[in-house]
A and B are shown apart, each in its own frame.
Chain A
Amino acid sequence: MENPIWGDSIFKRKKKADNIYTILKQVPIFSELKNKELSEVEKIVHRRKYKKSEPIINIGDPGLGMYIIVKGSVEITEEDNAGQKKTLAKLPDGAFFGDLALLDESPRSASAIALEDSDIIGFFRPDFLDLLYKKPKLGIKVLLALAKVIGERLRRTNELLVQIQQKKDVSGSG
């Protein structure tokens, strides 16, 4: 049981806030991992700091891996045919992006820019493939979780597609 006096002390909170396990635990692909497994992941992730307005990934660059926002916020943008930037999303602390690049090297479909000074964790395909070979049990856990995330996203996309199709059908028959 947590000590009521020291349990929520400023020191512990600081330690906890800085604890990479806590941050990784928030990300769906790592949420099922035990602390020992998270320590293996911790060894292969990269922690970076980005200044406000600094690009994190550029649209069209070869995909290399995913990023998790530890602190700060990130804007996801794409360019239309005229070269105009269009904001797709603004991501807060704990959000992640670029996860599809863990599977292949296809060009990035959008750019990501830090909206404020941000602390970000990068998890990349070569390290992920290395993990899959060296620690297959752990690698498969992460892979399965990644498949779930992508599957869920595909399901939502399908639902949206059906809704749009239905709207189109209704407006067409009306």
Chain B
Amino acid sequence: MFPAVDNYAFQLYSQIMKTFWRVFLILLGIAFLIFVFPYIKDVLILVIIAWLLSVLLNPLVNFLEHKDLRRSWAILIVMVLIIAIVGFSFSLIIPGIIRAVESLTSNLQSGVISEFSVKIEAFFEKNFNNAELARNVTEKFNEIGVKLLGSLGTFFKSVGSFLSSMVIIPFITFFLIKDGRRFNRAFISKVPNKYFELSLNILHKVGNQTSKYIQGQAIDALIVGMLSVLGLFIINLVFHNPIPYFIFIGMLAGIANLIPYIGPVVGAVPALVLAIFSNPPNLGMVLLWIVIVFIIVQAIDNAFISPMVVSKSVNMHPLTVVVVVIIGGNIAGLIGMLFAVPFTGIIKVSSSQVIWGLKNYRLDFSPRPEETFPVKSG
């Protein structure tokens, strides 16, 4: 009787139902992810680390491929080289670190550092005339120290499980580098035609930008680490080795530098602590020079290295940094804290590319030819 209205109502109903099912499926997907997340968290962390490694190693592989080497061979050569370097470094550093952490823990527990506590007590008594407060402070300091070093010891003792991850990570990394392009193509082949160019363009741009960002961060961490090692080496030369394991401490400072604002402070702490426990004759001067070295390294990083290698578009507010580091810590502990800021940087870079795509592409949301409904005649 009213064919036009009938047809319109039919189309509207179908569209509403389609939208309803899409939203329902998306919500179901999110609920499923939240449900399975605790079970897949560990695997997910391994995959993310492998992906970060694949992004870092890809330029080397591409370079060898550019030199007429088959891609599989290029990946094998790069990975064997990296595994050999990392394995050799670990075999040199890790046993020493475990010994150092264990000896520091026993020192704290056996009260060998009571000399240091006495100094603090004397300082408080002289300046604040409160020996009770001084005793409380040193007791708390001892407690925190033992706890911290205990957890650090556990971390390094779990190197066994860490090493088993070291087998899985290269395995995943190999296939991510080898078949990364195939994975992208498989994904893009499932995208509907009307979003095809947009998705392809965004995927390429996000890939490029994230690669640049991750590689920039890695170069920055490497240079900061090397500068810290150099600074600590000079202090060791001048003050007769007050900082043991200075290479490890320097590289740790480089890695901690991945976290802006907090990282540089965290990076300096192990050097200061180790210097205090090695208790050289001129401790005050050593501590002062350690602080100066880290300030100089940070100044060089902020003035020259960071602006050159890390994109300015990923600058983050200090509050954002603190929040994401806490969230990262809650999700994946120490590794989560370390990678929280780079990961947020990746999301920031990616979202800016998605926004660019949505602004520049004319998205036609009218139904596709097969989705259009034939108009009833009569």
Q: B65 touching A134 by the CB < 8 A rule?
A: yes
List of A residues within 8 angstroms of B100 by Cβ = none
Chain A min CB distance to B74 (Å): 10
Interface of B is mostly: helix
Partner of A133, one of B62, B196, B370: B62
- The residue that A61 contacts in the complex, of B65, B66, B361, B370, with Cβ under 8 A, is B361
Q: Is B369 a contact partner of A52 (Cβ separation < 8 A)?
A: yes
Instruction: Report if A62-B364 is in contact (Cβ < 8 Å); known contacts: A46-B189, A55-B194, A134-B66.
Output: no
Minimum CB distance partner of A61 in chain B: B361
Q: Which of B194, B196, B204, B370 contacts A126 (CB 8 A)?
A: B204
Shortest CB-to-CB span from A154 to chain B, Å, is 26
Output the nearest chain A residue to B61 by Cβ-Cβ distance: A134
B164 CB within 8 Å of chain A? no
Q: Which residues of B contact A135 (CB under 8 A)?
A: 65
* Contacts of B340-375 to chain A: CB distance below 8 A: 360-362, 364, 368-370
Question: How distant is the Cα of A53 from the Cα of B366 in the complex, in angstroms?
Answer: 13
Across the interface, A62 reaches (CB within 8 A) one of B181, B201, B208, B369, namely B201
Contacts A50-B193, A52-B369 hold; do A58 and B201 have CB atoms under 8 A apart?
no
Indicate whether A21 reaches chain B with its CB closer than 8 angstroms: no
For chain B, the count of residues having a C-beta within 8 Å of the partner chain is: 23
Q: Is A124 an interface residue (CB 8 A)?
A: yes
Answer whether residue B143 sits at the interface, using C-beta atoms and an 8 A cutoff. Answer: no
Are B62 and A134 in contact, with the CB atoms below 8 A?
yes
Q: B139 in the interface, Cβ–Cβ < 8 Å?
A: no
B185 within 8 A of A: yes
Q: For chain B residues 42-90, which have a beta carbon within 8 Å of chain A?
A: 62, 65-66
Which residues of the partner chain A approach B6 to less than 8 Å between Cβ atoms? none
* In the complex, chain A residues whose CB is within 8 Å of the CB of B197: 57, 61, 64
* Residues of B with C-beta under 8 A to A145: none
Contact A62 B370 (CB under 8 A): no
**Can you identify 23 A-B contacts, CB atoms within 8 angstroms?**
A43-B181, A46-B188, A48-B193, A51-B368, A51-B370, A52-B369, A53-B369, A54-B193, A54-B194, A55-B193, A58-B362, A61-B197, A61-B198, A61-B362, A62-B360, A62-B361, A64-B200, A64-B201, A124-B204, A126-B200, A133-B62, A134-B65, A136-B66
- Contacts A133-B66, A134-B66, A135-B65 aside, 9 further interface pairs with beta carbons under 8 A come to A51-B368, A52-B369, A55-B194, A56-B193, A60-B362, A62-B360, A126-B200, A126-B208, A134-B62
